[in-house]
């Protein structure tokens, strides 16, 4: 007997429409279950793409947030294993997808293809996390930030596709102009804006949110960095002899690693908070949806 296929988003909503009125009156458990099913379905079907464990190159690239050209480059350079060939069709699987997302993430963090190959090789050879992190430190040095993307002014304007929003982003220095060239200082932010506005949210609204969020993020950053700085100040006091070189090196290393760990912890906390808030909002939407749905016919 074939295993039962998980419901799609449309299937979850259809089940809610069919729920008898007596069930909708005691709907808390029904809604909680529906919310769980909706998010499971959304994870399985990002961007509306079918995710069945096998992907053609276009779907693989879109799911990983890259291009088919990049997939071919990574494959040709040995970063991705070859796909399964079915006739003239190349099929990739979840292993390819996971690896491609990792490669894309590492390249976005400033590694080059040779560095990515070294780290993937270290991982595949079974080296422990400390070995891989040590290799990471040797490759990337002390700092890695989002890298700006430079393009022609015309290309940048097409990327934003909204003259008023473009001017606002220039004032916010998210985009910097130099004659006929433009430097996108926050390319991931622009990518996020473009994806979200695909759902009908205006660019002006997204920029408003960005302006509101930045001061709050700066406050969080100040709290975190101050904690690390106070620790250093306790160990290195003005007018007093410096500690041993090994201790200074340890403090500097701590501050450099502090960034990575602070970002990871804040990201996890923010993700958890956002998930809870989204679930609450969707629960309210589903409750209203069920309350306004006419009573289903008895089975």
Nearest to 132 by CA among 117, 141, 142, 122: 122
Q: What are phi and psi of 26, to 5 degrees?
A: -115, 65
Neighbours of 79 (CB within 10 A): 20
Q: Contact 9/41 with Cβ under 8 angstroms?
A: yes
Instruction: Output the pLDDT for position 129.
Output: 45
Q: Coil, helix or strand for 89?
A: strand
Instruction: Output the pLDDT for position 232.
Output: 73
pLDDT tens per residue, range 151-199:
999 999 999 999 999 999 999 999 999 988 999 999 989 999 998 998 8
CA distance 145 to 210: 19
The full DSSP string for 221-240 is HHHHHHHHHHHHHHHS-TTS
CA distance 177 to 242: 45
pLDDT tens per residue, range 136-148:
444 444 444 567 8
E strand intervals along the chain:
54-55, 84-86, 89-93, 149-152, 175-178, 181-184
**Domains in the chain with CATH codes:** 54-110 (1.10.1660.10)
């Amino acid at each position: 007997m074939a295993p039962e296929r998980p419901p799609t988003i449309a299937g979850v909503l259809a089940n809610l429409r069919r729920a008898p009125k007596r069930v909708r009156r005691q709907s808390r458990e029904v809604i909680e279950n529906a919310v769980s099913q909706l998010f499971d379905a959304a994870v399985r079907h990002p961007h509306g793409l079918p995710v069945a464990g096998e992907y053609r190159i276009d779907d693989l690239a879109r799911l990983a947030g890259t291009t088919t050209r990049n997939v071919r480059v990574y494959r040709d350079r040995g970063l991705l294993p070859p796909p399964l060939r079915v006739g003239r069709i190349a099929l990739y699987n979840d292993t390819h997808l996971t690896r491609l997302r990792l490669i894309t993430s590492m390249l976005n963090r400033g590694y080059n293809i040779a560095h990515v190959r070294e780290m993937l090789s270290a991982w595949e050879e079974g080296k422990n996390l400390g070995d891989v992190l040590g290799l990471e430190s040797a490759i990337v040095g002390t700092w890695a930030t989002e890298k700006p993307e430079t393009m022609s002014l015309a290309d940048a304007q097409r990327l934003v596709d909204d003259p008023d929003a473009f001017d606002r982003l220039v004032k916010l220095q998210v985009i910097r102009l130099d004659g006929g060239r433009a430097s996108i200082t926050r390319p991931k932010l622009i990518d996020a804006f473009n994806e979200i506005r695909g759902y009908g949210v205006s660019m002006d609204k997204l920029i408003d949110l960005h302006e509101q969020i930045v001061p709050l993020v700066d406050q969080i950053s100040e709290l975190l960095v101050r904690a690390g700085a106070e620790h250093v100040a306790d160990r290195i006091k003005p007018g007093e002899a410096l500690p041993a070189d090994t201790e200074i090196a340890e403090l500097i290393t701590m501050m450099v690693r502090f960034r990575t760990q602070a970002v990871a912890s804040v990201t996890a906390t923010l993700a958890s908070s956002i998930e809870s808030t989204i679930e609450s909002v969707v629960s309210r939407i589903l409750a209203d949806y069920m309350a306004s749905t006419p009573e289903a016919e008895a089975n």
